């Protein structure tokens, strides 16, 4: 790949390692020190050309493509940002094609919107020699648990196909308010993404204009005699829509504990006083076939101490 010039337009040749990547993600990785907002501005203005043509941020690259990048003044590069391996979240599985991390609550999966470094930037900084590290899927910032990162482009492509085709089993643990009675309940409610006037991303149930969303809830434990009654559920995703579990639960009248977007805000304040200071949503189990070898992989992440401790208190003498 040719180098970038801050004084004249640059022509970047796309190699096999970048084939299949979206052009916005490619530019964000290539243009070190350039804010994402500027990357999207030069894409919208047409200053970036793919094989001589204007393209949108969703355009996919192919080996042999040429990307024209306009003159850009970047921050002084200095030495590459490096972090010790201990700065990365715990790795629960790794091989030559992928790795799976146990993401803590409060860590965004990628930088942006005022966040300098997210999980993927931290992984790259702790592994400066890695040629390829890309998120396979995402978790909300406050959600903890298992997250897959691809180390090779073929693995990323294969895992994306597996997700689209429903061949990745994802299960979450959630705590909700209400008298949950069903041992198993399938929820089919279409969801529609929209932006608020402040630009915040939100989701609502919309059977007419929304996209199909299916969640199967399994009852794990109930506290019917508490005020309010509570239930620990296992949520099995059959589709992967934004905020799917949270919106489905709220629409059923069972708000998710600690949910600051769709939950019960007054109840959340009471939960915080009782010790639950985050959303009770944990990605605890993943099962899929290895993207390159086909070998079955099944991984689990126990509840983190803050969530496990809160549940233990529900069963204690003070409950």
Encoded tokens for 52: 């001589």
Short-list 287, 248, 301, 297, CA closest to 170: 287
Short-list 217, 253, 219, 260, CA closest to 235: 217
3-class secondary-structure state, position 206:
coil
Tokens 């409950």 identify what position? 319
Per DSSP, the residues of 99-147 read EEEEEPTT--SS-BTTBS--HHHHHHHH-TT-S--EESS---TT-EEEE
Contact 160, 291 (CB under 8 A): no
Short-list 190, 187, 301, 192, CA closest to 236: 187
**Which DSSP category does 256 fall into?**
B
β-pairing, 281-289 vs 144-150, is: parallel
Rounded to an integer, what distance in angstroms lies between the CA atom of residue 269 and that of residue 248? 22
Judge whether 140 counts as a catalytic residue.
Answer: yes
Rounded to an integer, what distance in angstroms lies between the CA atom of residue 3 and that of residue 93? 35
Please enumerate in sequence order all residues whose Cβ is within 8 A of that of 39, keeping only pairs 6 or more positions apart, or say none.
Answer: 24, 27, 28, 31
**Which DSSP category does 22 fall into?**
B
Encoded tokens for 153: 């482009």
- Catalytic residue from among 24, 102, 140, 259: 140
Rounded to an integer, what distance in angstroms lies between the CA atom of residue 40 and that of residue 52? 18
Rounded to an integer, what distance in angstroms lies between the CA atom of residue 59 and that of residue 273? 47
| Residues belonging to the active site | 140
């Amino acid at each position: 790949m040719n180098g970038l010039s801050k004084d004249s337009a640059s022509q970047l040749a796309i190699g096999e390692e970048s084939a299949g990547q979206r052009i916005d993600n490619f530019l964000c990785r290539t243009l070190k020190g350039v804010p994402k907002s500027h990357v999207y501005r030069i894409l919208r203005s047409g200053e970036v050309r793919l094989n001589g043509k204007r393209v949108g941020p969703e355009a996919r690259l192919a080996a042999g493509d040429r990307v024209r990048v306009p003159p850009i003044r970047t921050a002084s590069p200095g030495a590459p940002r490096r972090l010790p391996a201990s700065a990365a979240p715990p790795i629960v599985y790794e091989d030559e094609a992928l790795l799976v991390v146990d993401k803590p609550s409060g860590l965004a999966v990628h930088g942006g919107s005022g966040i300098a470094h997210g999980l993927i930037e931290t992984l790259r900084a702790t592994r400066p020699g890695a040629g390829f590290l890309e998120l396979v899927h995402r978790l909300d910032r406050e959600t903890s648990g298992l997250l897959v990162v691809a180390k090779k482009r073929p693995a990323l492509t294969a895992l994306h196909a597996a997700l689209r085709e429903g061949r990745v089993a994802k299960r979450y643990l959630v705590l909700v308010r209400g008298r949950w009675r069903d041992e198993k309940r399938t929820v089919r409610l279409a969801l529609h993404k929209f932006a608020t006037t402040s630009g915040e991303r939100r989701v609502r149930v919309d059977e007419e204009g929304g996209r199909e969303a299916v969640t199967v809830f399994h009852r794990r434990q109930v506290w019917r005699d508490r005020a309010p009654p509570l239930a620990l559920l296992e949520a099995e995703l059959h589709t992967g829509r934004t905020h799917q579990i949270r919106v489905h639960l709220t629409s059923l009248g069972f708000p998710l504990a600690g949910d600051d977007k769709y939950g019960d805000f007054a109840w959340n304040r009471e939960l915080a006083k009782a010790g639950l200071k985050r959303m009770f949503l944990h990605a605890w189990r993943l099962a899929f076939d290895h993207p390159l070898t086909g070998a079955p992989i099944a991984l689990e992440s126990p509840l983190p101490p803050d969530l496990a401790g809160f549940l233990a208190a529900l069963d204690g003498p003070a409950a």
